[in-house]
Structure 1
Amino acid sequence: MKNYLWILASILVLVCSCHQGQADDSHHLPFASPESVGMDPGRLALIDFVVQRGLERDSMPGAVVLVGYQGKVVFLKAYGDRQVQPEKVAMTTDTVFDLASLTKPVATATSIMQLVEQSKIQLSDPVAKYIPEFAVNGKQDITVYQLLTHQGGLIPDNSIKDYQDGPDKAMQRIYELKLYYEPGTRFAYTDVGFILLGDIVKRVTGQSVHEYSQKHIYQPLGMTETGYIPALELRKRAATTQQREGRWMQGEVHDPRAYKLDGVAGHAGLFSTAEDLAIYAQTLLNQGSSGEKKLLKPATVDLMTRGYQVVDIKRGLGWDVLSRYSSNRGDLFSSRAFGHGGFTGTSLWIDPAQDLFVIFLSNRVHPDGKGSVNSLAGRIGTIAAAAISPIAVQQSTSEVSSSDSLNVLTGIDVLQAEQFKSLKGLRVGLITNHTGLTRDGKSTVQILNDAPEVNLKTLFSPEHGFAGKLDVSKIGDSTDQKTGLKIFSLYGKTRTPTPESLQDLDVLVFDIQDVGARFYTYISTMGNAMRAAKQQGIRFVVLDRPNPINGVDFAGPVLDEGSQSFVGYHRIPVRHGMTAGELARMFNTEMKIGADLQVIAMQNWKREMYYDETGLTWVNPSPNMRSLNEAILYPGVGLLETTNLSVGRGTDTPFEWIGAPWLDGMRLARELNRSGLPGVRFVPVQFIPASSKFANETCGGVNFIVTDRRRFQSVKTGLEIACHLRELYPAGWDTKSYHRLLGNQSVFDAILAGKSVSQIQALFQQDLAEFGFRRAKYLLY
């Protein structure tokens, strides 16, 4: 058996290095043997067995399989025939395939996302903004986002009879369609929605989705064998599908509606080869870049391919983000994987966490439309993922490499290294507290006070005071004992610097550690101070610090317009995934503050870092934020503290548990553990707060054990707790103040109505996606 595997491995290496029929390799990905990149060639060789079984069962006449890993093609092979009628023609690796519904993400969604990047389209825009004729029969409020995620209320396919009178008449009949269901209330995969998205591309750019994608996607990437309506040379290499009008379709779109639309549509019609598709897949793995060519910005790739809750499933923007590749060993693709399939027998699956993609292309509809390849493609994906060695997986999915960690310099460190050039000769007011420290633990106050040519004149403190120890409703002004400087409280009679406190200043500097949640008030203090600085005509400088719970993830409902407050300063989600400096940039533009703003950026900080990966010393940002673990829990658990629950204030571990005298912890823990929330377990407990809510009373409760912080979703967990509390204690759990921090009326109403977490999450996914695009403009790292 071992000798057999070695023979297969040798054949595989030969296939990978001497693939057949390559038309033009100038833009194609490089090839590598599997073992050279840490893959098991013996496991990959099992693809031969799986595909051969498919051929024997007439699942398809032939196929091409390509596996890409770490930027290289490690497997490329053709199997069977690309045509068996009217005569046999062998499959080759350069065969051109009708991609069918792979058109949706690769052509249409990518085009839409480019236009969103350019602010020519917004996800929340109604479709009728671009296609006025569509605003009939109750369809006036359907949005671009809803079309991308298949929840726009449209029928999956309208009658083929609607296409019999030519493309113009066909489109008019699509505009006039009646609603199939209430938009936003269910997922219904629809070709019609993507036909409309293709039409939006044409309305916005003046080019069909064929012309636009060719010019802005395939040509820049060097994908010379990809496009609608393939040229004669490519048609000759195309896999034959079925018969139409007395001829075999070869290089002619199989989808009947796309055919009636002259071969160009948003839902189908794209043709490509395995190696061309590999260029596209690798570009997405490269965060939107291929060499010097930029297809999309990294933030756009993330937004396009992350999962958005659509009623009871998750979808990307044009992509399927549900893992379909599984085996008896369980899912081998990561939770970040995304992909799509096509009716003709095609699929593309991409896993950024493992730097892996798998392409399966077949013409399973040839000759009689009876072939079936879904499970076959799934098994191939499982084999490819299983071929990655444990060491390679660990390297590709590690949180932060050792060379990146322990080297982060915050804004004050950078300012000091630059010899305070941004503040030289200026009279400075400093907004800070005990968290304002250099990397080596020295106070920002002392550093600026001792800096030559920097005139530190005044200090300002936020909630919890200058030393960060107070947990009271108002704090008065005071004096710093070490420097003798006046400390103006921004959590007392006023929460905004007064003109009198700023009268002798040239610049206002902000240096406070945030925790990454919308309702943590330090960012509100920053926003108020920016307004005051603008009004007084002085500069505002932010000494940036890490988001301690990482700068990648953002989650939760976006604050409703009109609900702004000191615990909800701007229309951002509960977990914002931004640093203070980035938020300052957002506030300054979106809230039209217009301050003379400068952000002193950090060095060596990467967005995926948690605070323990920075090498910086943890200092409790506030009296009840006593560990990184509590900060990770805070966005979800903190939402609950305005209700009649204890969130652990008055105990040694605030935000690591909740409870109340009326709560049965065993019952709640059992229900929460059954919910299947990722990365967390729930343990029933009893505790007695020494102060705060329910002081000296025994509380039944639940302790939160984060088992995997990369998978843990704090806001979803908080919403799940709220749903169970509403179900188990409809009279005992007092919700009247829950909305104060939640800040989203539709979500609040849904919780009171007993909706599921999936239904609740679906309510804010469009706003969350739109926030992602807003956010991308202000990111510094």
Structure 2
Amino acid sequence: MTQIQFGIDRLLSEPELRRPLAGRRIALLAHPASVTADLTHSLDALAACPDLKLTAAFGPQHGIKGDKQDNMVESPDFVDPQHGMPIFSLYGEVRRPTDAMMATFDVLLVDLQDLGCRIYTFITTLRYVLEAAAKHGKSVWVLDRPNPAGRPVEGLTLRDGWESFVGAGPMPMRHGLTMGELGRWFIDLLKLDVDYRVIEMLGWQPDAAPGYGWPLGERTWINPSPNAPNLWMARAYAGTVMLEGATLSEGRGTTRPLEIFGAPDINAKAIIAKMQALAPHWLKGCKLREIWFEPTFHKHAGKLNHGVQIHCEGPYYDHTAFQPWRIQALAFKAIRRLHPDYPLWRDFGYEYEFDRLAIDLINGSPLLREWVDDTQATPDDLDRITHADEAAWLAERAPYLIYR
């Protein structure tokens, strides 16, 4: 088996890949998971290359250091004390790079570990820097990394008019593409005239056990954001991220964020039973377990929560059968059936949107929420619209696949 090489490792080890960068000013868009095979941060590794001229760096949501916890917690610009270069925040005063920021480089290297989910804002930042590069005549190179959720596709496609910072374009929740592949799709979608290149991975096998997207046993998992602590979270995230738009805790303030959910006033055992009664075929590929937890911060902090853990690891995981988006949708449906008046949807400012419900922004339309709240709607009803979206996306994304 060929040992996997990420884009950053190939750029560093293959001088011919770097030759087009000679004499050009380079910037890096990175976060804490932007590391080489030996866990050196990409900023340090690139700065140490004598044939590269690194002049600036950018950080996405949570910051280049990954220290900012959550929704609308911004990062400032600063000067890196070791390398003496400006570090610009793309989740602070601005979310799109300014003209002044764009003037600091000729080529932007994008080295971001994604989670394979539309709502994860790093892909929106990728779109924004591609648009800025087209405007300013700059080059963008994506140093590609795995999609840890692999190739499966799931969820409703974002509808027209529902673009947001958590909805960069008309794709389903689980898109199944790498960042390099997404960049190619964005360029065609937006009809951008931009110099774009992908430094491809070598040896990535998205359907290979045991990682099914992530090279488990070959590469160390580094949190790309504070609440993305492991591969299991990445697998569940396309469903559990919907909890950000709900009053239930998603486990922030615990050691297993976005693998669990609960609240002080629900009966987890009854919810699991109702889920199994409503759509047992949606629950394949994992194991649901009744749990208790007490968050130390965030929703329901300091209170005992009754909840559910989604086990999508070890003997319970079936990569082709697992449907995290449907599992979480079914949990909402079970709660609504058991407690018709339960205040399920959270109304708050979400990713700089104050007029639309977070659950609708997350899903790219009100369709999921309306299905949950419709007492007559069944799992088959949701499948009817979702299957059409999923089939259309599988066809649309096919030309952009680099790794087959």
Is 1:760 aligned to residue 370 of structure 2?
no
Q: 1:755-779, CA deviations, whole angstroms, 9 ceiling, x for partnerless residues?
A: 2222202112222211111101111
Give 1:417's aligned residue.
13
Match of 2:56 in 1: 458
Which residue of structure 1 lines up, in the alignment, with residue 252 of structure 2? 649
- For residue 448 of structure 1, what is the aligned residue in structure 2? 46
Q: Give the one of 369, 394, 404 matched to 1:772.
A: 394
Counterpart Cα distance in 1 of 2:48 and 2:371: 55
Report the AA paired with residue 439 of structure 1.
A
2:320 corresponds to 1:719: no
What secondary structure does 2:44 align onto?
helix
Q: Which of 618, 622, 625 lines up with 2:228 in the alignment?
A: 625
Give per-residue Cα distances to partners, 1:179-237, cap 9 Å, x unaligned.
xxxxxxxxxxxxxxxxxxxxxxxxxxxxxxxxxxxxxxxxxxxxxxxxxxxxxxxxxxx
Deviation at 1:480, TM superposition (A): 2.1
Amino acid at match of 1:548: P
Give the partner amino acid of 1:415.
Answer: L
Pairwise CA distance, 1:614? 6.7
Aligned to 2:338: 728
**1:121-160 correspondence runs (5 A):** none
Counterpart in 1 of 2:147?
Answer: 547
Give the letter aligned to residue 202 of structure 2.
Q
> 1:433 Cα shift?
1.3
Q: Where does residue 351 of structure 2 map in the other structure?
A: none
Q: Secondary structure at the residue paired with 1:777?
A: helix
> 1:536-563 CA distances to partner (integer Å, 9 max, x unpaired)?
111111100000111x211111111110
TM-score of the aligned structures, taking structure 1 as reference length: 0.47
Residue from 700, 704, 727 that aligns with 2:310 = 704
Which of 95, 106, 109 aligns to 1:506? It is: 106
The structural deviation recorded for 1:452 is 2.3
Aligned partners of 1:475 and 1:708: how far apart in 2?
Answer: 37
Q: Tell me whether 1:495 sits opposite 2:95 in the alignment.
A: yes
Change over 3 Å in CA distance of 1:414–1:543 after alignment to 2: same
The 8 Å contact of residues 662 and 732 in structure 1, kept in 2 or not, is answered as no
> Aligned partners of 1:485 and 1:663: how far apart in 2?
51
The match for 2:274 is 671
**Which stretch has the larger CA shift, 703-712 or 457-466?**
703-712
Identity value in percent: 32
The question of whether the paired residues in 2 share the 8 Å contact of 1:542 and 1:600 is answered with yes
- Name 2:352's counterpart in structure 1: none
Question: How many angstroms apart in 2 are the aligned matches of 1:721 and 1:528?
Answer: 34
Structure 2 match to 1:375: none
Per the alignment, in what secondary structure is the counterpart of residue 683 of structure 1? strand
3-state secondary structure, aligned to 1:641: helix
Q: Which contiguous aligned blocks of 4+ residues in structure 1 show a shift greater than 4 angstroms?
A: none
Q: Distance in 1 between matches of 2:136 and 2:64?
A: 24
Whether the aligned pair in 2 keeps the contact of 1:673 and 1:682 (CA below 8 Å) is no
Question: How far does the alpha carbon of each residue in 1:394-449 deviate from its partner, in whole angstroms, 9 at most, with x for none?
Answer: xxxxxxxxx25xx1101111112221223222101111111111112222111211
> 1:587 — aligned with what?
186
Question: Shift of the alpha carbon at 1:745?
Answer: 3.1
| 1:661 aligned onto 2:264 | yes
Which of 437, 441, 452 is the aligned partner of 2:35?
Answer: 437
Question: CA, structure 1 residues 455+626, in 2 after alignment: closer, same or farther (shift >3 Å)?
Answer: same
CA distance in 1, matches of 2:76, 2:88: 8
Amino acid at match of 1:683: R
**1:572 counterpart = 2:168:** no
State which of 217, 221, 238 in structure 2 corresponds to 1:635.
238
Q: How many pairs align?
A: 376
In terms of Rg, which structure is larger? 1
Checking the alignment, whether the CA contact within 8 Å between 2:113 and 2:224 is kept in structure 1 is: yes
Q: Contact 2:284–2:318 at 8 Å: present in 1 too?
A: no
Q: Which amino acid aligns with 2:20?
A: S
Deviations for 1:460-508, whole angstroms, at most 9, x for unmatched residues? 0011111112115211112223212211000001011111012132111
Structure 1 residues not aligned, in runs of 5+:
1-402
Aligned equivalents of 2:81, 2:275: Cα separation in 1: 49
Q: Secondary structure at the match of 2:309?
A: strand
CA distance in 2, matches of 1:612, 1:724: 35
Question: What is the TM-score when the length of structure 2 is the normalising length?
Answer: 0.89
Q: Is the 8 A contact 2:158 2:172 kept in 1?
A: yes
Helix, strand or coil: the match of 2:155? Answer: strand
State the Cα distance separating 1:752 from its structure 2 match: 1.7
Aligned to 2:361: 740
Aligned runs of 1:386-425 on 2, under 5 Å?
403-404=1-2, 407-419=3-15, 420-425=18-23
Q: Deviations over 1:57-114 (max 9, x none)?
A: xxxxxxxxxxxxxxxxxxxxxxxxxxxxxxxxxxxxxxxxxxxxxxxxxxxxxxxxxx
Name structure 2 gaps, 5 residues minimum.
346-356
Shift of 1:587: 0.5
